[in-house]
Amino acid sequence: MALVLRARAHRLIVRVLAAVLLLGLLSPPALAADVRAADVRVIKLDGVEVRLLPGTRQVVTVNRTTGTHARIVFWQHTARGWVNVVHSPRARIGYGGLVAPTRRRQNTGTTPIGTYALPFSFGSHPRPPAWRLPYRRYDANDYWVEDNASRYYNRYRSRELGGFRWWLDPNTLNGSERLAAYPRQYEMAVVIAFNYTRPVRYRGAGIFLHVNGSGPTAGCVSAPRPFLAFTLRTLRPDLHPVIAIGR
């Protein structure tokens, strides 16, 4: 009888663990940004606080100048220290301005202050050979999930795979963003790992560095097309690049 009970208990545990995995209740793998506080070194570049990860040798800083305008700089660490490689005064932030990351709320048009990893990129063209950051070319079925009821919240996802309410109006709280609807801005884009590793519902999803549109963003950081092209051509995963947003 004891053996039967243990066998039943084992099967029950297996079923529970399988259900937890299926529902996505276990935490996703951590990004490089999840490191011990003791391993993070804080510096300032162009007046912006940067929390350097171990091994970080590339940094993009975003310094709000006035309104929703910002100066954006690509920094590379060399034998001479941190070098301003390329910059532009024509970057934009969200129409709601800057906000502390823990105070951010979805659909407020705010851009989160802080330092974040740049895990991968996406765009509308085939991947150029020189781009070393992981890249996905989107099609008409690809979305960034902003449905708070979905296990794929704040993830890149095709509607063909399901798992989120892709049909909801993108201008509503749970509406997801169809990437192909923004061919100018998302010609080239880099994912900013805000609220990404362990997403908090209603805090916000889909924060990117992308090509400038006609005005402020809905929370992303945007920059002139030549800056994006240079950035994607130059970013190297082995140099642990981050973006730091401040004022």
Q: Judge whether 228 and 199 are in contact, CB under 8 Å.
A: no
**pLDDT of res. 179:** 98
Whole-number Å distance between alpha carbons of 182 and 13: 46
Whole-number Å distance between alpha carbons of 102 and 172: 22
pLDDT in tens, 193-202: 999 999 999 9
Whole-number Å distance between alpha carbons of 121 and 133: 7
Share of the chain above pLDDT 90, in %: 83
SS3 217: strand
Segment 70-81 mean pLDDT: 97
**Residue 10 host element (H or E):** helix 2-23
**Residue 221 confidence (pLDDT) above 80:** yes
pLDDT in tens, 5-26: 344 444 444 343 333 333 333 3
Contacts of 73-76 with C-beta under 8 Å, sequence gap 24+, read: 73/45, 73/46, 74/227, 74/230, 74/231, 74/234, 75/45, 76/234
**pLDDT of res. 36:** 56
**Residue 12 host element (H or E):** helix 2-23
Global pTM reads 0.85
**Residue 30 confidence (pLDDT) above 70:** no
Whole-number Å distance between alpha carbons of 152 and 237: 24
Whole-number Å distance between alpha carbons of 29 and 27: 7
Whole-number Å distance between alpha carbons of 60 and 41: 16
Identify the weakest region by mean pLDDT among 35-49, 59-73, 119-133, 222-236.
Answer: 35-49
Q: Judge whether 182 and 142 are in contact, CB under 8 Å.
A: no
Terminal-residue alpha carbon distance, the chain: 68
**pLDDT of res. 37:** 61
Among residues 247, 211, 232, the alpha carbon closest in space to that of 127 is found at: 232
pLDDT confidence band for 40 (50 / 70 / 90): confident
Segment 126-147 mean pLDDT: 96
Whole-number Å distance between alpha carbons of 8 and 2: 10
Token readout for 93 is: 């932030």
**Residue 116 confidence (pLDDT) above 70:** yes
Residue 33 φ/ψ region, left for φ over 0, alpha for ψ in the -120 to 50 degree band, beta for the rest: alpha
**Residue 227 host element (H or E):** helix 225-234
**pLDDT of res. 39:** 77
Whole-number Å distance between alpha carbons of 120 and 232: 10
